[in-house]
Copies of this chain bind each other. A is one copy, B any other.
Amino acid sequence: MSSDVTRRGLLGAGAAAAGSAALLPDRAAAARTRRRSADVVVVGAGLAGLMAAREVAAAGRSVLVLEARDRVGGRTLNRELTTARGTFVEIGGQWVGPTQDVLLGLARTLGVETFKTYDRGDYLFHREGRTTRYSASTPLGAIPPDLGAVEAFAAIGQLDAMAATLPLDAPWTAPRAEEWDSQTFETWKRANTATAGARLLLDLAIEAVWAAQPRDVSLLHVLTYIRGAGNETTPGSLNRLISTAGGAQESRFVGGSQRVSLELARALGRRRILLSAPVRRIRQLRGGVEVHADRVGTVRARQVIVTAPPAVSAFIDYDPILPADRAQLLQRFPQGNAIKCMAVYDEPFWRADGLAGQVTSDGAPVRITFDNSPPDGSPGVLLGFIEGHLARVWSRRPAAERRAAVLESFRTYFGPRAASPREYVEMDWSAERWTGGCYVGFTPPGVLLDYGQAIRRPFGRIHWAGAETATIWNGYMDGALRSGRRAAAEALAG
């Protein structure tokens, strides 16, 4: 269904002839286009924006979604394989797991089915040039065969306990918030672990979850994120963030995660979503808002919901200007760095070797892998992430060099067959103008403490949504949906 929508060009790449090269003439032309209006304008057709629009429409109010790109889905994005027509892989966010109730419920409603991430067989641990197999199905889950794992798991327990002391809506008010927001996670790691193995495992955890380095993120931000990795009744935990079985990587969506966005968009209808319409200006007037977008011109509304990541929402010209704390928050909420790389093979050959396809490694550029094959295991797809520092370095190198290095990583972990895929797919989110980096925006030290109160606080008729504003499952698809629902409630009450 969703691919059908894409192919018909209603919400896909073919929808808008007006590319960015044509923007300026469009601006001049904008004044001549007909005036549109809606009760609520939503900026951004990612999961947060589409969910917000759904809620507004469900309440019987009119809504218009303005999307900068020529497609919906934001950080969820399906890619059809060239060598397997009709088979999609995700080059954006893809997994869903327990306690992500809003996403799971919505997918069910929309008829998007889930299946378990392939997780049978042994995992691989690679350190200092040596690859070791280990069982992932111990009663305690996957424990890497390194003495440092003992210390790493103790540290994780400590972090979970610290996180549990945080008020979900206002972690910056916690008793020890100032201490925790005054240091990087790196500082905490060095003070609380002694072995190189534990430090490596914690590095990998931070890289895998934030696509940033332990030195980039505030300890309080890490704890806040852990705190939210549960639901209203289940406390968050770092293990849930990094695990496959029982964790955030447990399941996948049949047909690709973007189907959730595509089905949401389909249900809303094409008249409610305007693509290739980057919002340039939001003007609050007595009694309403004027939203100015390329190609579309001016849209009048009673309320507006901005769902772009903080760093991207800073591009908009706000009139009147944003309050100082909001404006400065947007200077202090950088996006992480992830390059998602996939190699496609005739079959998932590692399965026959008794391997799950999952690696954690001190190598480069790929340090984390997954089996990302479709439900029927055909073709075989190996997924590797380049994250944080390595993504920054490798983003600057030529594509061919990067491809060769990724395949060399795969070869190191999975043997010579991995070196010759029939297809190679990659996506560098750092180079995406309308996202600014992935997986998510994070806060360096000091930001939550002094600017946390500005993250969700509306500014007049402007409401803020997006994965970065979520309290539960911040940074995840589920959090994005929750944020859209919250912002819609605000706007409907406004």
Q: Does A255 contact B (CB under 8 A)?
A: no
Q: Is the CB of B325 within 8 A of A311?
A: no
Does A182 have its Cβ within 8 Å of any Cβ on chain B?
yes
Determine whether the beta carbon of A182 is less than 8 Å from that of B215. Answer: yes
Q: Does A132 contact B (CB under 8 A)?
A: no
Q: A28-B28, A187-B184, A392-B451 are in contact. Are A335 and B328 (CB under 8 A)?
A: yes
User: A281 contacts the other chain (Cβ, under 8 Å)?
Assistant: yes
Q: Which residues of B contact A436 (CB under 8 A)?
A: 327-328, 331
Q: Which of A266-316 contact B (CB under 8 A)?
A: 280-281, 283, 292, 298, 311, 314-315
Whether A337 sits at the interface, judged by CB under 8 Å, is yes
State whether A445 and B216 are in contact (beta carbons under 8 Å apart), knowing that A183-B186, A437-B328 are contacts in the complex.
yes
Instruction: Give the number of times this chain occurs in the complex, counting copies.
Output: 2
Interface string of A139-163 (1 = CB under 8 A from B): 0000000000000000000000000
In this complex, the interface size class of chain A, counting residues with CB under 8 Å from chain B, is 35 or more
For residue A452, give the distance in angstroms from its CB to the closest CB of chain B.
11
Judge whether B213 and A446 touch: CB under 8 Å. Answer: yes
* Most central of A182, A215, A325 by chain B CB within 10 Å: A215
> How far in angstroms is the closest Cβ of chain B from A98?
32
Binary interface encoding of chain A residues 318-332 relative to chain B, with 1 for a CB under 8 A from any of its CBs, else 0: 010101110110011
Do A396 and B323 have beta carbons less than 8 Å apart? yes
Of the 9-residue stretches A40-48, A107-115, A425-433, which lies at the interface with chain B?
Answer: A425-433
Lowest 9 CB-CB distances: which A-B pairs, in order? A444-B444, A182-B215, A216-B446, A324-B430, A331-B334, A311-B331, A215-B446, A182-B186, A324-B431
Residues of chain A whose beta carbon lies under 8 Å from any beta carbon of chain B: 20-21, 23-25, 27-28, 30-31, 178, 181-184, 186-187, 212-216, 280-281, 283, 292, 298, 311, 314-315, 317, 319, 321, 323-325, 327-328, 331-335, 337, 389, 392, 395-396, 428, 430-431, 433, 436-437, 444-447, 449-451
A-B contact pairs, 15 of them (CB 8 A): A24-B283, A24-B292, A181-B215, A184-B445, A215-B449, A311-B331, A324-B337, A324-B428, A325-B395, A325-B396, A325-B430, A331-B436, A332-B444, A389-B450, A445-B445
